[in-house]
Structures are given as C-alpha cells and as structure tokens.
Amino acid sequence: MVASDTLLTGKQLETLSINTIRTLAIDAVQQANSGHPGAPMALAPVAYCLWQQFLRFDPEDPIWPNRDRFILSNGHASMLLYALLHLTGVRAVNPKYERLGEYAVTLEDIKHFRQIDSKTPGHPEYHVTSGVETTTGPLGQGVGNSVGMAIAGVWMAAHFNRPGFPMFDYNVYAFCGDGDVMEGVACEAASLAGHLKLPNLCWIYDNNRITLDGPADESFTEDVTARFKAYGWNVTHVADANDLAALGSAYDQFLQTKDRPTLMVVDSHIGYGSPHKQDSSAAHGEPLGEEEVRLAKKSYGWPEDAKFLVPDGVREHFRDGLGKRGHDLREKWMALFGEYEKKYPDLADHLYRMQHRDLPEGWNKNLPTFPADAKGVATRDSSGKVLNVLAQNVPWLVGGSADLGGSNKTTLKFDGAGDFQAGSYAGRNLHFGVREHAMGAILSGMSLCKIRPFGGTFFNFSDYMRPTIRLAALMEIPATYIFTHDSIGLGEDGPTHQPVEQLASLRAMPGLMVMRPADANEVVEAWKVIMQLRHEPVALVLTRQAIPTFDRSKYAPASGVAKGAYILADAPGGHPDVILMGSGSEVQWCVAAYEQLQSEGIKARVVSMPSWDLFEHQSDDYKEEVLPPEVKARVAVEQAATFGWSRYVGPTGKVIGMQTFGASAPLKDLLKKFGFSREHVVEAAREAIARSK
C-alpha cells in the first residue's frame, strides 16, 4: 500500500495514516534506545479517529481560545502526540502568544526524541512544545488537569457567552491508562467531576491490562466501569481499539451526553501489530529491538527497512480533515469575536486580557491598608480581605478551598460571587471537598485555560499537593496556593497539623515563589506581586494567629516586599553590629529584640524576608545593601526547620527554629518551649556578635 502510485481510498488513507503514527513512534523510540512504543502503537487508531473526525483544533493556531483540549495523561506514550503534532502540521507559538509559522514538531525533532534540548522530550512538556496542552507523565496528573480545563470551559461559557455568541463551548479529551485510574489524584478529580456533572469532559481509558510491573491483574482487579458509574459518569465501551466505526460512535455518544462527564473504555493490546511482544511489558517500557521492529512493520504492510517514513498523502489527509475543520471553526470564531467586541466591548476586553494573562484596568483599586496595631490580625484574615477586593476587580480570579474555606479565608463573599456547582457554573467559589491533590491539579488546568485560580488548605497539607505544585512550577503557570495555619502557631491540634519542614521543602522547588508575609500590610504587597506574575506559581503562607501590624511611620514601608527582603528597621547611620532576620510571624520577635538591643546601645538591623525567591532575583548590590557581607553577626528566626538559613546567617550566625515536629499545647506554651521570644532572640544576637569577633 505504501509504495502504490494509485489513488488511495478513504479506508486505505485511514490505515496508512494510523500506521504512519505507529511507525514514527517505533522508529523514534528505537533510535533513542529509550521510550515506550507499545501504547502509541495500540492507541494510534483511537487518537486518529478523535483528531481526524472530532477534535476542534486548528493546527495553524494551537492557542485559539475555544479549541478542544487534548491531554495525553499517560504521557509515556508521548510519541503518539508528537507524531500527531507533526503529521497535522501544528505551528509553533512563542511565550508572547505570537504564531511563528514554523512547525512545532518537525521530522528532525522526532528523530531527536528524548535528546538534549529537543522539542520531543520523554514526556510532553507544556512550555517546550506548541500543541502540548499540559505537562504529563506522572500518572493521574493529566486527567486531574483535564477536570480543571473542563471547569474553566463551563465557567467561561457562563461568564462570557451571550445569546448568539457562544464564545466558549470547547470539549476536553484526555487519554489515560490503568496507571492513571489507579492514582489517587485521578480518583479525587473524577469524583469531583462527577459531582459537578461536567458535560464537556471525556476520558478515554486505554484498557490494555498491562502496567510496567506486569499484568494489571496482579494488583488491579476492580470494576472501573462500576466505579465511574458510581461517580456519576456516563460510561461507554469499545471492545476493539482498531474499530474506527465503534470509536466514532463512542465519541458521538459523548457529544450527545449533556448532563455528565464521559468515560470511554477502549480495549486494546499494547504493542498491537508486534505479534511476539503484543502483551509484554518490554513493548511498553523499552524499544522493540531491530528484529521486532521489522516484524511490526511487516504486519502493517510497511517497508521493513524504511525509517521515519511519512508516505505521500498522509499529511494532506490530515490537512483536509482536522486542518480544514479547525481552520473553518477558528475563522468563524474570530469573526464572531469581532461582532462580540462591538456589542459587548467590556466583556471582549476582559476575554482578550484574560487570554494574554493581562490584568484589567483598576485591578489594584480599593485595596485595604491596615493601621498599626500591637495585637494585630492573622495574615489569613488580612489575605481574605485583600482577596475579596481583588476578585471584584479581576472577574476571572476564581478559586476555593479543600474543605477549609472558612479557615483559609478563601471564600469570596461579595454580591454575585456565588458558588460553582452543577447547573450553576458562573459561581466564583469552588468547593473542592477534602481533595487537596486534585485541587492542585485542577488549579493547573484552570490556569492553562488562562483563568487566574487560587486554592487554599492548611500548610501542612501542601504535602498532599506537592506533585501538582511541582508540575505547575515546571510549566511556569501562575496558580496561587493559599496555605494557612503555617507553623506551631496552630497550637492544640499538635504536630500532626503543625508544618515544620514544608517551608524548606517548597523553597527548594525551582520556579515556585514562596511568600510568607510578616504583617497585614505585607500581605497586601504580596498579593500585588502575585497578581502581576505570569509565569510563576506562588505558595502564599499565612498565619492562623493574630500578629502585630507594624507602625509604618516608624518602620520601613511594606512595599519592600516586592524585592523579597528589605530593611524593616535599621541601626543609626545604617551600620549595624547584628542583623536580625525572619519571615512571617517571627519578624515580630526580631522587632522586639531590635528595640531592646537599641536601648542597650547595641546597633541592630531587622530584615523582613517574606520571599527568598524574590530576594535572590535582585541585583548583587541590593542584596549586599540589605545583608552587608562585613556584618557577620546574624540571627534568623522562623518557626520551621532551619534548613536553608545558613546561606543567609553564615558560619558565625545563629538560627532559632524547629528541630522537632512541635507539640500539642496552647500557643503561649509552645513559644516558651521552643524558644520563640524577644529574650531568646536578644540572647542569640549577643552570642552571634561574640562569635563574629
């Protein structure tokens, strides 16, 4: 068939196109001597049917806002997606949302699969390869993201659509496998999606009964169909992954189901077409080997020695199917948007700004300022006040909490905020339930659709979210995590709930900005920084307990937060004998110690350090201005593990922190037991001065 000069029939073109996807995957994995050929081989017809017949996607503009989203949650099958991106001619887009005209994935890119600086890494990466909607690979994460994308779709439809102007009606398709549906994050996300009755969400479950560990039935015998029906999903079944007619009928049924998400169970044989390794884990997790490659190609009627072959007619076939359909839909949408701009100029302006991660005019108006107050306010409370103002100024600031909205102060309470529920998709308050991991994945999916999402929980439970936070940092997307109850200040709930190592752990994560403001006005400034970010997720770490609001007529303005660390109080002439530094609630002890030391004639400086990440991005001159190298006497104070502070206190400095997991007791007793007091800081300052001499 490949070498024929005769005009190919539709069926022959279908088979040729599917086998081109398969053989590109086989050849790329074989040449890289690394990767997973089995899943792309088995899923090629499933993906072909979706892309060629159903997916509303314009290869010339892969970021068109109302495109359908395709997610490869089983990201080890990345060559399936790279082959599709290449054969359909998807164009590259730069970080400024400009279309470049060049192909996102060339044949040369496929030949460099899994190689250094390639556009075809081992698992799909959102900011590396245009056409990749989200970074996948850690199983369960992609389907978790898909729920966020579906939520974003129905929210944007409720917010932007008007009679005659369906600006948003896209669908979300996610391929997943046994590993995905076993992972807890997928179970959490599926449960919430069923509760919300998201009609625009379809998971295609590759039921191949194989894991990397061997046959799935060694560890997995549950009835997935029954489980998803219990979640409230519509479930369909395709008995043969190669049956294009049955696949088409199943996709049609999804499109006709308007009251719930759909799970499409597709039975497949991993490594289909390679008879000797059809069901082996080797076909799943290793190159086939030269002999198996020849056997597989022979079974496809393919030239056995041809490598990276794209037969004539295949690219044209995709161009005439997906390409034409997507182009026409996008052109129609752009024309509709032109009319929308005339009739609804404010909504159109917001839609455009949202899609470009810009903020509306007046986004920072009416933000509160907090008067000096020795008793003060918990930073979770001041954050809640700021968040409610910002959400009124930025209509696409949407979020909620994992069961703790009242405690996190993440609930939006202004008129019209509303709750996001099934049949009420315009609400701004999301209720994630006790599903921290899914919340993180959903926030990423929402952010990838350009909503500004936030999600809250206790800081200790950031551990449940860590995989999703890591992927958000890897993708460089501006999700905001609001973590409250940030220290042993939690009190009587005890060490099971008192975060100790979380600050150090998250500070170690590349690309994540950790912010721990020291008073209410630092909270305001932190939110100003957060809202202007385009490429960084943020962990905003807040107190449960009230802490003093500093007198800014006496101390430096809180605007110093924008630089990550700043001189809050200084010695006369700016030449301190000792530097006292900390973040969050512990800065109060630095200030109290500063006042005592000053009264004793010891020259001290207080440095508030709400964000190490921001501080490290400042110039060397600024960093040395705040922390002069010649001042060796330094004390850091933080109710957390001391790991990491040595970079700032140096070899002669002292760190007052946590060496254990805390304890269950009232806060005043905990502070005394663990040494968080003015007296202890003063004592440490004297020791540091002595050691530095």
Domain range for 587 is 564-692
How many other C-beta atoms lie within 10 A of the C-beta of residue 461? 22
Residues 416 and 305 in one domain: no
Q: What mean pLDDT is predicted for residues 491-512? A: 95
Half-sphere exposure of 147 (CA within 13 A, CB side): 30
CA 142-143-146 angle, 5° bins: 90
Same domain, 544 and 571: no
| 321 and 410 part of one domain | no
Whether 44 and 135 map to the same domain: the answer is: yes
Residue bearing tokens 């004998």: 577
What is the band of 216 on the pLDDT scale with cuts at 50, 70, 90?
Answer: confident
540 and 599 both lie in a single domain = no
Q: What is the pLDDT of residue 274?
A: 46
In this structure, the answer to whether residues 509 and 411 fall within a common structural domain is yes
CA neighbor of 151 nearest in space, from 189, 181, 205: 189
Residue 566's DSSP bridge partners are 608
276 and 383 share one domain: no
With cut-offs at 50, 70 and 90, classify the pLDDT of residue 48: very high
Q: What is the pLDDT of residues 600-620, one digit of tens each?
A: 999 999 999 999 999 999 999
Span 6-44, pLDDT tens digits: 567 789 999 999 999 999 999 999 999 999 999 999 999
| 573-610 confidence digits (pLDDT tens) | 999 999 999 999 999 999 999 999 999 999 999 999 99
Tell me if 434 is assigned to some domain: yes
Q: Is residue 350 part of a domain?
A: no
Instruction: Give domain status of residue 170, yes or no.
Output: yes
Nearest to 75 by CA among 176, 169, 214: 176
Query: Are the beta carbons of 348 and 356 closer than 8 angstroms?
Result: no
Residue 348 placed within a domain: no
Query: What residues are paired with 401 via a beta bridge?
Result: 431, 456
Segment 463-468 long-range contacts (CB within 8 Å, at least 24 positions apart): 463/502, 464/436, 464/437, 465/436, 465/437, 465/439, 465/440, 466/505, 467/138, 467/141, 467/185, 467/437, 467/440, 468/141, 468/144, 468/185, 468/437, 468/440, 468/441, 468/443, 468/444
Q: Which residues carry out catalysis? A: 436
Does residue 539 share a domain with residue 571?
no
User: Percent of the chain having pLDDT more than 90?
Assistant: 91
Q: Parallel, antiparallel, or unpaired: how do β-strands 429-431 and 578-582 relate? A: unpaired
pLDDT digits (tens, 9 = 90+) for 433-458: 999 999 999 999 999 999 999 999 99
Is 167 found in the same domain as 62?
yes
Banded pLDDT at 273 (limits 50, 70, 90): very low
Task: Give me the number of domains the chain comprises.
Answer: 3
The pLDDT assigned to 18 comes to 98
Q: What is the pLDDT of residues 369-392, one digit of tens each?
A: 999 999 999 999 999 999 999 999
* C-alpha to C-alpha distance for 686 and 56, rounded to whole angstroms: 68
Same domain, 35 and 166: yes
**Of 489, 516, 548, which closes a domain?**
548
Residue 178 lies in a domain: yes
Examine residue 623 and state whether it is found in any structural domain, yes or no.
Answer: yes
- 542: domain CATH number is 3.40.50.970
440 and 581, same domain (yes or no): no
**How sure is the predictor about 280, in pLDDT bands with cuts at 50, 70 and 90?**
very low
**Residue the block writes with tokens 């991005």:** 617
pLDDT over threshold 80, residue 622: yes
Domain boundary among 516, 548, 580: 548
Q: What is the pLDDT of residues 313-342, one digit of tens each?
A: 999 999 999 999 999 999 999 999 999 999
Last residue of a domain, one of 329, 354, 385: 329
Tell me: pLDDT of 283 over 60: no
In the chain, what are the helix, strand and coil shares in percent, each to the nearest 5? 45, 15, 40
Indicate whether 347 belongs to any domain.
Answer: no
Q: Report yes or no on 361 lying in a domain.
A: no
Same-domain check for residues 291 and 438 = no
Cα separation, 136 vs 86, whole angstroms: 19
CATH of the domain at 684: 3.40.50.920
